[in-house]
Structure 1
Amino acid sequence: MIPSTSKKRQRLPHHRHTTAALIDSFSDKTISESSKKLRRASSHPLLSSTIPSSSHPILPSSSSTTTITATSFNDLNTADVILRLFLDSTAPIINLSDSVSSIDNNHQSNAQIYLHSPILRRAKYFSALLSDRWLHAKENSESAENKIDRYLIPLKLGVAPGSIEVHLTVLELLYTNDFINIINSAAAALDILPVALEFLFDECVNYCVKYLEAVPWSEEEEKRVLNLIPFLREEESEELLTRVSPARDDSCEEMLHGLILAAIHNSPNMATVKAFVAKLLRDFSSRESARRVLERAFETSLKIVKESLEEYSSPDFRGDHNETEAIQRLNLHTAMTNGRHLLWLVERMIELRVADSAVKDWSEQASFTADLQRAFRDDAWRNIVPGLPVVVLRCTCKLANAVASGTILAARQVRMKLVKYWLPVLTVCKDNVLSSMLPSHKSLYLELEETFLRIISTLPMSDAQVLLQQCLSFSTRNVEDCPHLVAAFNTWFRRATNQPQGDTDC
């Protein structure tokens, strides 16, 4: 607690025409406890009881150099304040030379230095602490002309060993204002800032804060900054908080969404960036946030592909032939580009097991699949986007496989419509595209056939009966080449001839 101005001070004997006054009410309190209360209450009675600056000015930064020429830090001959810093109250008082640079911060547990009250008053803590002394000095100015009124201030530090040197550094900054050379790293600023806050040395606090605002931090330094922010004023901590606190609650999702868009649209090195963003999504702590950003991107890309195929399948012929052809090429390229984006998004959603909504959306594309069938029956796309059928069917295959394997637990209607609407697209591609495809792509058709048949096996027999009849296109001239189709029909007939127990009617 800051001592009351009405508390009687103990006087020490005179030595060589000097008077010593002991401010002893701090011996059982740490400096941080006292200054914390004072800093947060600008109307503290001790602050209001200080003598106006005209009588005993607090030395500003600009005038400190002039004063230092007459009064140096730790100058025994001119000091009027003896400041004792200690971690151990039982340690003896030690006498220091004019320099304190030899202090070992790993072993030093106490220090005694000689200071000057006008300079100390630059720190509000000392200004308030010594305010009663100023009143006393003013009243007895004539009798004090030929002697130094020296005060002993014991300050027990409420911090870990090793802080003596930091406190001495801050005290020396009261004399030198050499912030630029002393505060030259985030670690130095974080060491000095707590002591500057304890002493209420506002210039030093402001410089430390400005320095921390402008330089990078390590993870450990960031933790220290966060621990110090509650002790700063709102205006002091504002910039630091904007650096570590999101501006909005959904900032993480907006960041992820922006990264996804950059990966699939804007990056020149797309494959590398996509791999990096995929890792970020895998490592992100909230799967629900990842789900939302992926669904948002999926819906956007799907909408673009659908609109492009719709315009291609139903073109506006009001322009000339060349203009129409250019627009059709553009529509196909747009569909192809965003189809690749869709495939990457589907892979990420399945990897994170958040593709439920994507499967449902994919199963409700009656008009989109109709446009695809019309487009693939036309030969125009072959020289423009020959890979479009593969991209579309790979999206379908990825989602269908996730359903068939149980990775996605889709409702019966979703499973049924997924086969109902996408089986015709597979059939058209097989009839019109297979002959011109690379051998490596033909396995995709077989995989999707097998997956559709597995999904059909999960449906009611009435639905399976209708859909299986549409799968006859899976057959070949050699029955041995389509065992998946044979097995599917055999399973359906076996179930059809199985009579439920208790039912003997044919």
Structure 2
Amino acid sequence: MAASTTTTAEPKRRHHREITLSSSPTAAEPSPHSPQPPPMPATFFSSSSPSSLYPYPSNPTYPSTFSNFNSALTAGLLNPMSPPPQARPCPTLYQMMASDPSDDDVSSSSVITSPPPSSSSLVVEKQGIIRQRISRILGNRSPGRQFNEMNSSDIRVILSSRDGYSVDLSVHCPILVGHSRFFAGKLRGNGLVGVGQLTVELTDCEEVEVYVETLKLMYCRDLRRRLMRENVSKVLGILKVSAAIGFDAGVLSCLEYLEATPWSEDEEEKVPSLLSELHIKGRDASEVLQRVCPGTTAATEQNFDENEVLLKLLNIVLEGKDEKARRDMKGLISKMLSESANQNDLTNESLYSACDGCLRKLGHHFLRAAASDFLEVDQIARQADNLHWILDILIDRQIAEDFLKTWVSQSEMSKAHSSVPPLHRFEVSRVTGRLFMGIGKGQVLASKDLRCLLLQTWLVPFYDDFGWMRRASKGLDRHSIEDGLSNTILTLPLAGQQDIFLAWFDRFLNSGEDCPNIRRGFEVWWRRAFWRRKGDQPD
């Protein structure tokens, strides 16, 4: 423990003896929702006769320096929004009060001092902004005129920043001792209560305005209502200072505010991080964290089973009635699944269970339509669209091979395809087209037999519906489908490629735009089959 005693110059108001303390604070009984506060390096000035230095009993729960706390306070969590700097220098609060006739009856004054102008314009600009904020805080006499009242106060608090400017406040010993376990330990533990005028200096403060706001809140009777004027970032700063000085009422009010107010996405990270850093425990802190952190009880584990919740959402979308809402929610669910870091959030069994249900309904209604029973024929397009969406999810998760096996086995539906009006059946061919795209891009790795069977079963129905797909499907990526089909064909042996491309050549010349244009694949096949076989190269 280091200590020094220095006699200061005689001020106009009183004679003081300066006592500088650097020991750990007095231990205080912890609150259930507040952590032990860190040390506050302070300088005490007493108007009584010179006395010896009072050593503070150490408390192992406090860090060693107050600067560590201030560094953490400004680590990026607690910077309130700042107003833009003004071009002209801002007047001090003393100058503002001297020129304001409405405050003639107020005997208190606050002087915000700063060092000589620095060569760095950024430092000067920052100090000007801070002075504006503090002037606004001190200029508002709410919640009571006792705060910063010089005539009735018995403690002078000086808050000094690292940049060199300071704020001089007039406060009352009963308020500090009654609301702050830190100040109570410092003042009572060293016999400084009731000794006359004291001056306490807190040095190395970076967010001075947060300290000023927190001390002012000690004079407020309804803290929760007062905090309603602030934003989450400001309240987080007040929470940290309140926890540091053992201002339990401030901590509780900040927790109640955070539990009730909405958070932004960025604040969802800051709030739990700060509570964890401060080691704030108790029911109030738990209620705040429940918004983003589910509990560990059996009931909450059941409610937060991610697989069950997602499967339930998936089935609700598949069975929804409003088509526009279904489209919107499909996009939302797909985005959530794509961005999820946990690939086990929805199991393969759950996805294929939903897929099988859609496929059964599709086959049922498709065969009924082929038999000229058009009751609920709109279910064909609906279930085909559902399958297309689930297939997108399966391909994104690289687990679509089993779907391909199931799709190529639908020979009965493929044979009945021509008996269903194109208006109702073309959505089925969109599923085939999506498989072509997946295989063509290497997103679906299937055996040669499966690829051949896919083309044998579904290529002709796909050709038949391509014109309808091109005209009726909004947002159809025709070129991607054509490239996917070309690449799928080119994965076959040359003999299989030749049969398919020659049949396409004849069909394309007779159908034109109603047939997919796979000319690029045709050229690749020709080069493979004839130029390379003969050893010739194109000019």
Shared fold (TM-score greater than 0.5)?
yes
Residue aligned with 1:155, SS: strand
Deviation string 1:103-143 (CA, Å, 9 cap, x unpaired) is xxxx6x13142413366233211222233356x98xxxxxx
Taking the aligned partners of 1:8 and 1:480, their CA distance within structure 2 comes to 99
Does 2:488 match 1:455? yes
Residue aligning to 1:240: 288
Using structure 2 for the length normalisation, give the TM-score: 0.54
Deviation string 1:399-430 (CA, Å, 9 cap, x unpaired) is 21443465655543442232233247558xx5
Taking the aligned partners of 1:158 and 1:131, their CA distance within structure 2 comes to 24
Does 2:249 match 1:203? yes
1:371 alignment partner AA:
E
Does 2:177 match 1:177? no
Taking the aligned partners of 2:268 and 2:469, their CA distance within structure 1 comes to 55
Give the number of aligned pairs: 406
Residue aligning to 2:454: 418
Taking the aligned partners of 1:25 and 1:154, their CA distance within structure 2 comes to 10
8 Å CA contact retained: 1:298, 1:358: no
Tell me how far 1:198 sits from its aligned partner: 2.0
Does 2:231 match 1:186? yes
The within-5 A match list for 1:416-455 is 416-423=452-459, 426=462, 430=464, 440=471, 455=488
Q: Structure 2 unaligned segments of length 5 or more: list them.
A: 38-55, 60-144, 296-300
Residue aligning to 1:397: 433
The within-5 A match list for 1:92-103 is none
Taking the aligned partners of 1:491 and 1:224, their CA distance within structure 2 comes to 59
Taking the aligned partners of 1:19 and 1:444, their CA distance within structure 2 comes to 86
CA separation of 1:454/1:151 partners in 2, compared to 1, >3 Å: closer, same or farther?
Answer: closer
Residue aligning to 2:357: 304
Instruction: State which structure, 1 or 2, has the greater radius of gyration over its C-alpha atoms.
Output: 1
Taking the aligned partners of 2:452 and 2:351, their CA distance within structure 1 comes to 22
Greater helix content: 1
CA separation of 1:182/1:478 partners in 2, compared to 1, >3 Å: closer, same or farther?
Answer: closer
Does 2:201 match 1:155? yes
Residue aligning to 1:167: 211
Match for residue 120 of structure 1 among 177, 187, 191: 177
Does 2:180 match 1:132? no
2:385 alignment partner AA:
R
Residue aligning to 2:20: 24
Tell me how far 1:180 sits from its aligned partner: 4.0
8 Å CA contact retained: 2:161, 2:205: no
Using structure 1 for the length normalisation, give the TM-score: 0.57
Percent identity, aligned pairs only, is 18
Residue aligned with 1:175, SS: coil
Match for residue 362 of structure 1 among 404, 407, 419: 404
Tell me how far 1:339 sits from its aligned partner: 0.9
Tell me how far 1:240 sits from its aligned partner: 3.1
CA separation of 1:310/1:409 partners in 2, compared to 1, >3 Å: closer, same or farther?
Answer: closer
Residue aligning to 1:84: 157
Match for residue 386 of structure 2 among 300, 322, 341: 341
8 Å CA contact retained: 2:307, 2:347: no
Does 2:271 match 1:225? yes
8 Å CA contact retained: 1:86, 1:155: yes
Residue aligned with 1:150, SS: coil
Taking the aligned partners of 2:483 and 2:342, their CA distance within structure 1 comes to 34
Deviation string 1:288-309 (CA, Å, 9 cap, x unpaired) is 7689769788635531232124
Taking the aligned partners of 1:22 and 1:490, their CA distance within structure 2 comes to 92
CA separation of 1:265/1:295 partners in 2, compared to 1, >3 Å: closer, same or farther?
Answer: farther
Tell me how far 1:396 sits from its aligned partner: 0.4
Deviation string 1:69-91 (CA, Å, 9 cap, x unpaired) is xx944555665x52422316998
Taking the aligned partners of 1:41 and 1:447, their CA distance within structure 2 comes to 63
Taking the aligned partners of 1:89 and 1:355, their CA distance within structure 2 comes to 53
8 Å CA contact retained: 1:24, 1:153: no
Tell me how far 1:200 sits from its aligned partner: 0.7
Residue aligned with 1:85, SS: strand
Residue aligned with 2:179, SS: coil
Tell me how far 1:341 sits from its aligned partner: 2.2
Taking the aligned partners of 1:490 and 1:115, their CA distance within structure 2 comes to 89
What is the alpha-carbon root mean square deviation over aligned residues? 6.0
The within-5 A match list for 1:259-338 is 265-266=319-320, 268=322, 270=324, 274=327, 278=331, 286=339, 299-311=352-364, 329=375, 333-338=378-383
Taking the aligned partners of 2:262 and 2:173, their CA distance within structure 1 comes to 37
Tell me how far 1:312 sits from its aligned partner: 5.4
CA separation of 1:408/1:344 partners in 2, compared to 1, >3 Å: closer, same or farther?
Answer: same
2:386 alignment partner AA:
H
Taking the aligned partners of 2:340 and 2:175, their CA distance within structure 1 comes to 61
8 Å CA contact retained: 1:304, 1:338: no
Taking the aligned partners of 2:211 and 2:335, their CA distance within structure 1 comes to 47
8 Å CA contact retained: 1:253, 1:289: no
Tell me how far 1:398 sits from its aligned partner: 2.7
CA separation of 1:499/1:120 partners in 2, compared to 1, >3 Å: closer, same or farther?
Answer: closer
Deviation string 1:157-199 (CA, Å, 9 cap, x unpaired) is 4431542xx4344334333323145312225423422221122
1:117 alignment partner AA:
P
8 Å CA contact retained: 2:362, 2:383: no
Taking the aligned partners of 1:477 and 1:189, their CA distance within structure 2 comes to 69
8 Å CA contact retained: 1:10, 1:22: yes
Taking the aligned partners of 2:215 and 2:478, their CA distance within structure 1 comes to 79
CA separation of 1:219/1:358 partners in 2, compared to 1, >3 Å: closer, same or farther?
Answer: closer
Taking the aligned partners of 1:89 and 1:423, their CA distance within structure 2 comes to 75
CA separation of 1:337/1:212 partners in 2, compared to 1, >3 Å: closer, same or farther?
Answer: same
2:159 alignment partner AA:
F
Residue aligned with 2:170, SS: strand
CA separation of 1:122/1:412 partners in 2, compared to 1, >3 Å: closer, same or farther?
Answer: same
2:382 alignment partner AA:
T
Taking the aligned partners of 2:243 and 2:336, their CA distance within structure 1 comes to 39
Taking the aligned partners of 1:412 and 1:200, their CA distance within structure 2 comes to 72
Deviation string 1:243-272 (CA, Å, 9 cap, x unpaired) is 344778x9998888777666665473627x
Tell me how far 1:472 sits from its aligned partner: 6.1
CA separation of 1:292/1:205 partners in 2, compared to 1, >3 Å: closer, same or farther?
Answer: closer
2:359 alignment partner AA:
K
Deviation string 1:201-246 (CA, Å, 9 cap, x unpaired) is 1111101111122112345655653553221412243233333447
Residue aligned with 2:382, SS: helix
